Structure 1
């Protein structure tokens, strides 16, 4: 004899639904408030977190060669010192190549810029746009007036610029010192965390941190490779077109490659603008085609092939991360946004994989929700118990 199905009271069902909605709303509000407070705290202490974040990014690139040297028998301190010396040598070499070229070509660029502006003015008047000469003169007068009005601000800004330069130098020293310390002792961090947190909790903390570190290192290394290929291809194109400052523009392209989407656009636009001013509109159009072609190669071939395994983030997530980081923390926020998003995604994937192990059996074997065997039902409570350890059964008298 089958048990008759009891009718469901709609009022009770709606009441339970609103109770669940209330609980989830409180949780969502609490999480949003916590994230807001976390962002506010980071913003207030950004001067402390900025060198730490940059040092972590530097170490994510330099850690593999330092580990290779340690595996060959060198001490941790010597390995870190050798790797840091090589890193500083590369940076000094770039400055040695770029700075003299900037100094030597500055007068030539000034003359070419004056001639280029004249050619652009002639093209605007006699070209297909047929812009009136009075309009051009009015625009030039407005620019001259703006420069005169800004002279006082530029003069008072010298002190601010000097203070910024001193602060930047101080941050560079801190970043280098932190990088050396992390290279020297960073491999001892995870065992220390596991020892302090205990075996059960520590293994999950170290597992999540290892996953995040692997994702971060893979992103920085692959992004550096993609940026290097972009810089080489665009640099070759600029050299062929005989564009002034071809090498500095290629270096800027490499640096901009670490800021997805926005960095490539800014560095490419600057290369086209320099070509327009120093060469001709025809050369600028060719450089524009070169930049667009290289960026298409990056977006459709290099990034999916090289970054697919290391980051696995949707382009919309990348764009929103860059926009949000840039609006909150400026250019540094845009630079650090994607590594932070990739690390957070790695943490969420680890938690998702861990919770999948404790998915209720009734949900897998009884998708229609008709019921399951409570004795074989493994729930999220099991995940919590696995962290807390075995429980001692209580005895009643």
Structure 2
């Protein structure tokens, strides 16, 4: 080959097969695995924050129809409607705490005051006397209380309870503040999200996105209506049977009714147990009443309220709530049904029409 031609002479044997650089492949693969592992660890570390953001965004989208209704009917600016909704939420939380804190304090004080008499009456019963003779229950309890590390154990338990209370208050305040910001800036968030879609498809995506937002808002509104109706029914029944804590138990029933699938049952058991402390017969009557009402709510009230909220089959609702509850607990159960409703809209308006055109 002439010199200066710019070409490099090939080996005598020709090109031949080139072997890959296994060291480079292994290094790149290990680097990819390490990067994926670091990303997973980072997501696990900020999991709580992501859950807070997801719940706050869900609440903001769900409360958006209320804000729009206040803007249209009361001629409020958006900031005024957002402030009104936030004040209503704070007022409800204050009423709930005001209604539930004094009875709990009173019951705890009464239990502590009556504990010696209760123990003495138990010791006089044949069953407890036989239990004491066989297993020395009181001696074991006395030994536990007089143990040197009893104070440390009690203090550690109180610290644990205090930490749980602090974490709950922190999570609640964080979600509330994030919800406030999301409610105020939701139109801007949606507009920015739609701008990531090419202009040719933007109108269709906007239509589907607005429909998803409307469905989520309708779902939350429906849940609130069902819960409020259950709380009102519970209040009138508990007031009729003479319960001293009718308002408190009615609020508990209403709040727990927001939990999909098991919420009404939890509220019914709590109310029945509270009534049974004063009268076991009335507690049984209360349990029977709530079981009957639960059937009416499940098959009459809730289907009528939710008919136009989430157009999802009941089987899909139950499956979604179970899967969501298994993956993310209570938060997953709350978010599962609106998520399935959103997927249903995408399937009906995007996936199925494209499959039909093929």
SS at match of 2:211: helix
- For 1:246 and 1:78, the matched residues in 2 are separated by 34
Flag the 1:180–1:147 CA change in 2: closer, same or farther, 3 A: farther
Distance of 1:282 and 1:56 partners within structure 2: 45
Counterpart in 2 of 1:287? 286
Deviation at 1:229, TM superposition (A): 1.4
Q: Which residue of structure 2 lines up, in the alignment, with residue 95 of structure 1?
A: 97
Contact kept? 2:63, 2:220, Cα under 8 Å:
no
What is the Cα deviation at residue 210 of structure 1?
2.2
Per mean C-alpha deviation after superposition, the further-off stretch among 173-182 and 295-304 is 173-182
Distance across 2 between alignment mates of 1:79 and 1:303: 28
How far apart in 2 are the matches of 1:97 and 1:217? Answer: 28
Q: Give deviations 1:47-99, integer Å, cap 9, x for gaps.
A: 11222233234324432332234445543333322332232123223323332
Cα deviation for residue 101 of structure 1 reads 3.6
C-alpha distance 255-147 of structure 1, shift in aligned 2 (>3 A): farther
Q: What is the rounded CA distance, in whole Å, between the counterparts of 1:296 and 1:155 in structure 2?
A: 45
Question: Structure 1 residues 61 and 357, CA, compared in 2 at 3 Å: closer, same or farther?
Answer: closer
Residue pair 1:60, 1:220 contacting (<8 A) in 2 also:
no
- Partner of 2:20 in structure 1? none
Q: Aligned ranges for residues 365-380 of structure 1 at < 5 Å?
A: 378-379=357-358
Q: CA deviation at 1:182?
A: 1.7
**Are 1:45 and 2:37 matched, yes or no?**
no
Give the 3-state SS of the residue equivalent to 1:196 in structure 2. coil
CA displacement at 1:312 relative to structure 2: 3.9
* Count of aligned positions: 315
The farther-off stretch of 70-79 and 88-97 is 70-79
Q: CA deviation at 1:136?
A: 9.3
How has the CA–CA distance of structure 1 residues 316 and 118 changed in structure 2, closer, same or farther, with 3 Å as cutoff? farther
Deviation at 1:189, TM superposition (A): 2.5
For the 8 Å contact 2:260–2:333, the answer to whether it is kept is no
Distance 1:154 1:321 in 2: 41
**Map of 1:194-213 to 2, 5 A cutoff?**
194-213=194-213
Q: Which residues in structure 2 correspond to 1:202-281 (within 5 Å)?
A: 202-276=202-276, 278-281=277-280
2:348 is matched with 352
Indicate the residue corresponding to 2:303 in structure 1: 304
CA distance in 2, matches of 1:212, 1:117: 58
Q: Distance in 1 between matches of 2:274 and 2:115?
A: 9
Partner of 1:328: 327
In 1, the alpha carbon distance for the partners of 2:115 and 2:198 equals 66
Task: Indicate how the Cα distance of structure 1 residues 169 and 357 shifts in structure 2: closer, same or farther if over 3 A, else same.
Answer: same
Q: How far is 1:337 from its partner? A: 1.9
Distance 1:336 1:198, change over 3 A: same
Q: Give secondary structure in 1 for the equivalent of 2:258.
A: coil
The residue that corresponds to 1:65 in the other structure is 66
Task: Please give the secondary structure, in 2, of the residue aligned with 1:357.
Answer: helix
* Conserved 8 A contact 2:62-2:213: no
Distance 1:134 1:75, change over 3 A: same
CA distance in 2, matches of 1:102, 1:350: 47
* TM-score (norm. length: structure 1): 0.66
| Residues 353-380 of structure 1: CA deviation (Å, up to 9, x unaligned) | 32333345xxxxxxxxxxxxxxxxx42x
Long gaps (5+) in structure 1: 1-37, 126-130, 361-377, 380-397
RMSD: 3.9
Cα drift, residue 121 of structure 1: 11
User: Structure 1 214/275 Cα, relative in aligned 2: closer, same or farther at 3 Å?
Assistant: same
Map Cα deviations across residues 259-317 of structure 1 (whole Å, 9 max, x no partner): 122222222122222222x2232112111111112111111111111112212444444
- 1:250–1:73 distance in 2 versus 1, CA, 3 Å: closer
- Scaled by the length of structure 2, the TM-score of the pair is 0.72
CA 1:344–1:323 in 2, change beyond 3 Å: closer, same or farther? closer
